[in-house]
Amino acid sequence: MSSLNSSLMQNTTIVHPEYFYISGFTGIPYVKYYFIFLIFTYIIAVFGNSFVLFMIYIDRSLHIPRYMGIFILALADLGDTNALIPNLIKTFLFDSQYISYNACIANMFFVFFFISVQSLTLVVLAYDRYVAICLPLRYHGIVNNSLMASALMGIWSYCAVLLGAIMALITRLSFCKTIEVKSYFCDHGPIYNIACNDNTINSIMAKIRTTLCIYAPFLVIILSYLGIFIELSKITSWEGRIKALKTCVSHLLIVGIFFIPIISTYIAALTFTLHPNTRIISTSLSSVIPPMVNPIIYVLNTKEFKDFLVKM
């Protein structure tokens, strides 16, 4: 009886390591040049998104629904950049690939939280463009500051609850085999896959998060633009079509830069075996490039931002 109780105690004991070892980028040739590139992207992303936030906050003419969405997107880009790249720079400068357990959970939460916020904010901006082009006379009645603020607050709350649940499930895992995380940050999949106890629920939650925060938003955006293109086909003049389409260029570019690399990597991983270094480089690029490029796209393609720059 005592041996049975001892066995049950061992099965229910949860072992949390003091540290995890982040082994991503190990063995990649000329990786120091990639770290220099990451430092370069970090500086541009922080400066660019901070400038976009400053412009929208200062210029009262930009306090409208569309720019509220852009403000939140820039804020999420800034959060994602600061959650991910400083840890990578620390690894490069101090050759430190260890991260404490609690810091790892926090890092995982914020990286996935801000990525999810970016994805769902792009859906809200797609809805804004859909109403503006397909229902122009009713736009101000449907899309207003109150509706946009409620939608964006809902996105942040939803992502916080979803990621909070995922992190809570991670804390129920026991790690007794290895502490090596085969990724470039505290990645959800590589961590739950090294657990000793049953990780089925973690795998299910990972698939749910990917579906709700990546695939579903991308599908909704595609459907919204199908509706936009159908509406544009009803406009008789090419000048009118191009004028309406120009208001969507910035959003379309950002959607492509954000979703295509992530979804391509997921599909590639499902269809054939990716080399770990290939997966790490591709996923890291898909995480660091959008926050760097997004403010450049908006400043160069938005008349209001150009006018603000001229005023300054």
Could you give the number of structural domains in the chain? 1
Q: What is the pTM of this model?
A: 0.90
Q: Give the residue numbers spanning the domain of 291.
A: 16-311
* CATH number (domain holding residue 35): 1.20.1070.10
Domain contains 10: no
Per residue in 204-246, pLDDT tens?
A: 999 999 999 999 999 999 999 999 998 888 877 788 778 878 8
Tokens, residue 258: 């954000």
Render the burial of 68-96: b for 16+ CB within 10 Å, e for the rest: bbbbbbbbbbbbbbbbbbebbeebbeeee
Identity (one letter) of the amino acid at 209? Answer: R
Q: Of all helices (H) and strands (E), which one includes residue 142?
A: helix 139-142
Domain contains 6: no
> What is the chain's mean pLDDT, rounded?
86
Give residue 3's pLDDT band: very low, low, confident or very high (50, 70, 90).
very low
Please tell me the distance from the alpha carbon of residue 137 to that of residue 59, in angstroms, as a whole number.
26
Domain contains 265: yes
Domain contains 142: yes
Per residue in 118-142, pLDDT tens?
A: 999 999 999 999 999 988 888 888 9
Counting DSSP H helices and E strands in the chain, the numbers are 13, 3
Please tell me the distance from the alpha carbon of residue 138 to that of residue 155, in angstroms, as a whole number.
24
Domain contains 169: yes
Domain contains 4: no
Domain contains 11: no
Domain contains 225: yes
Kindly state the average pLDDT of the residues 33-57.
90
Comparing 4-13, 18-27, 29-38, 161-170, which segment has the lowest mean pLDDT? 4-13
For residue 276, the model assigns a pLDDT of: 67
Of all residues in the chain, the percent with pLDDT exceeding 70 is: 94
**Could you tell me where the beta strands, DSSP code E, fall in the chain?**
19-22, 98-100, 180-181
